[in-house]
Amino acid sequence: MKKRGVSLLLTAAMLAGTLAGCGSSKETTETSAATTAAATTAAAAETTAAGGGAAAAPVASVYPLSAGDQLQYWCELTSTVSSNYANLGETSFGKGWMERTGVDIQFLHPPAGQLKEQFSLILADGNLPDLMEYNWVTDYPGGPEKAIKDGVILPLNDIIDKYCPNLKAYLKENPDIDRMIKTDDGNYYSFPFIRGDAKLLNTIGLMLRADWLVDLGLEVPETMDDWHTVLTAFKEKKGAVAPYTFEYTNGQYLTSDPFAYAYGTNRSFYIGSDGKVHFGATEDGYKQFLTTMAQWYSEGLIDPDIATLKSDQVSAKMTNGVSGASMGQAGSRMGTWTAAAQASNPSYKLVAAPPPTLKKGEKAEFGQIENPYSGRASVAITTSCKDIERAAKLMDYAYGEEGHMYFNFGIEGESYTMVDGYPTYTDLIMKNPDGLPISQAMSGYIRGNYNGPFVQDARYLEQYYTLYEQKETPEVWGDSNGKAHLLPPITPTSDESKEFSTIMNEINTYRDEMTLKFMFGTESLDKFDDYVKNINNMGLDRALEIQNAALERYNSR
């Protein structure tokens, strides 16, 4: 691994980009907007039959579609939209989507923070919206196959064959993605959110005060010993009361702890070198990780409030000098914190640190990385939908060339222009005349900067990250063999899912409680073997059996 200095990094002078986290509107809202485009009929492509008895190729649609009934579309309203709009249909993006496709959409949004609760209420009522955007893999009890068998959503195999040439072509060209978005029974179930480039898979990692490193004559830490040296210097020479901080209650960060990765494990499930699923929180490497964390905590290197911190508290500590290191996204954390802190401290800089190792020069075996398809924000057609063809063609638009550009860049000549073949955001986005952060300006015109039913384009990220330090994060945080240990989006059967959830709810609660106790020193690590025994008694072997069976089925898709 190359040694990475920070002095050169501080010469970069760019505007800070902001990437806000996901959220929702404060109350359930709905709207509909009449399309103004003239409707035309579809019909234009040659239809051919595939060999071997396969279904005929779908007929390409001509947009805008002919007139038809309004469709209901239920989805969470991200905070970057809800900051300025009560409904997705009020945005330039929403209006343009309807105009371009010829489909009148009634957007429905659950109240902020009540996505799952409102989802359950809708299911109980039985009167479903035509289209529902949700994580059917992880958040529907029993998974997507169960949702199909429960009569909630439709299998999409025949629908894609008949009406979705764009998605069908994309899946044919990307067999790895094709396998991810099917159930073990071979059923397609949603129009997926896909991260379309490797740069988009490494969005979370360690970051720390680059300006402090320069002042102290220190380099970006690579090993755990380096980190100990840096955090100690932050405490003793920079007055950091909580040198390293993050919110332990954030499950996304909890299972992506880079310091655990240094010991060849993580807090949850991963694929081992034997190709089997393992549970890291009971392994020897996890004990070594806890030993280090307990030492750092006793030395005052870890935030003493870590067990109760919320996101805004972490942000405050990182921008006011209480803390000098944390973890998170390059946009919503590195960019936002830098912009906020530089208002009063122009020298403030953050820099990404690679996944740590135990020995200098080693490549990290574990690291934070996402699958191209995680299940998030994927749209299913419900069994209540009366016009399945119209719904399918609306969704297929995003996977064609025109739709791809629209979802990622918006309106040519307004939100972007082509510069030497590169879609370049205009000042409406990058220097918004109303003073909106880039994230909010983008969200009025595109979906590229938050999840949805389309293929995300890396060229959005290359401009979203305005700081040099942000732009280098994909390479820095991706410097590991983490992909080899990443579980694909496997799906236990409905019966397995219920059993698995029962087991893991108990195990995860106990793991999280004991991790803090071991870290705080209120429980001796001499009790680690008892901790492992208790987790085993809670049914870990059965949970691993379920996971490995699901992985085997996935590999056979």
Angle between helices 92-101 and 401-409 in degrees, nearest 10: 170
- Residue 155 CA to residue 104 CA, distance in Å, equals 24
By the 8 A CB rule, do 496 and 550 touch? yes
Among 377, 467, 348, 422, smallest CA distance to 18 is for 467
Q: How confident is the model at residue 5 (pLDDT cuts 50, 70, 90)?
A: low
- Stretch 119-130: mean pLDDT: 96
Which residues 6+ apart lie within 8 Å of 131 measured at CB?
71, 72, 73, 74, 379, 380, 381, 382, 385, 391, 394, 395
Report pLDDT for 270: 96
Show Cβ contacts of residue 516 under 8 Å, excluding neighbours closer than 6 positions.
248, 306, 307
Distance of CA 393 to the CA centre of its chain: 26
Contact yes or no for 310/248 (Cβ under 8 A): no
Mapping DSSP to helix (H, G, I), strand (E, B) and coil, where does residue 135 land? coil
pLDDT tens digit sequence for 19-28: 333 333 333 3
Best mean pLDDT range from 5-14, 93-102, 362-371: 93-102
Evaluate if residue 55 carries a pLDDT over 60. Answer: no
What is the pTM for the complete model shown?
0.85
- Return the closest-CA partner of residue 447 out of 205, 92, 111, 105: 92
Is the pLDDT score of 11 beyond 70?
no
What is the torsional sign of CA 328, 334, 339, 342? positive
Q: What is the pLDDT of residues 272-324, one digit of tens each?
A: 999 999 999 999 999 999 999 999 999 999 999 999 999 999 999 999 999 99
State how far the Cα of 241 lies from the Cα of 294, in Å rounded to an integer: 17
Residue pair 465/16 in contact (Cβ under 8 Å)? The answer is: no
Give the pLDDT score at 391: 98
Mean pLDDT lowest for which of 45-54, 538-547, 548-557? 45-54
Neighbours of 56 (CB within 10 A): 11
Cβ partners under 8 Å of residue 116, min gap 6: 139
Taking the C-alpha atoms of residue 363 and residue 173, their distance in angstroms, rounded to an integer, is 32
d(CA 71, CA 218): 58
Q: How far apart are CA 98 and CA 406, in angstroms?
A: 12
Q: How much is the pLDDT for 2? A: 43
DSSP type of residue 375: S
Residues in the chain: 557
Residue 535 has pLDDT above 70, yes or no: yes
Q: Structural domains in the chain?
A: 8-16+203-368+479-487 (3.40.190.10), 29-198+373-461 (3.40.190.10)
SS3 of residue 106 by DSSP = strand
Nearest CA-CA partner of 516 in 326, 265, 206, 294:
294
Give CA–CA dist 301/299, Å, rounded.
Answer: 6
How much helix, strand and coil, in percent to the nearest 5, is found in the chain?
45, 10, 45
With a CB cutoff of 8 Å and minimum separation 6, the contacts of 93 are 410, 443, 444, 445, 446, 447
How would you label 134-163 residue by residue, b for 16+ Cβ within 10 Å and e otherwise?
bbbbeebebbbbbbbeeebbbbbeebbbbb
Question: What are the backbone angles phi and psi of residue 412, rounded to the nearest 5°?
Answer: -65, 135
Asked if 519 and 305 count as a contact pair (C-beta separation under 8 A), the reply is: no
At 142, is the pLDDT very low, low, confident or very high (cuts 50, 70, 90)?
confident
Please report the pLDDT score of residue 6 as a whole number: 53
For residue 329, the Cα-to-chain-centroid distance in whole angstroms is: 10
- Relative to beta strand 71-74, strand 131-134 is parallel
Backbone angles phi, psi at 425, to 5 degrees: -65, 140
- DSSP class of residue 67 equals P
Those residues with Cβ within 8 angstroms of residue 275's Cβ, 6 or more apart along the chain or in another chain: none
Angle ∠(452,160,390) on CA atoms, nearest 5: 75
CA distances from 523 to 190, 247, 286, 306 (A): 46, 21, 15, 17
Q: How sure is the predictor about 1, in pLDDT bands with cuts at 50, 70 and 90?
A: very low
Q: Which residues contact 445 (CB under 8 A, 6 or more apart)?
A: 91, 92, 93, 410, 411, 414, 415, 428, 429
- Mean pLDDT along residues 155-159: 98
For residues 57 and 47, the answer to whether their CB atoms sit within 8 Å is: yes
Residue-wise pLDDT tens digits, 323-364? 999 999 998 899 999 999 999 999 999 999 999 999 999 999
**Sign of the CA dihedral 268, 272, 277, 282?**
negative
Higher pLDDT, 178 or 47: 178
70-79 tens-digit pLDDT:
999 999 999 9
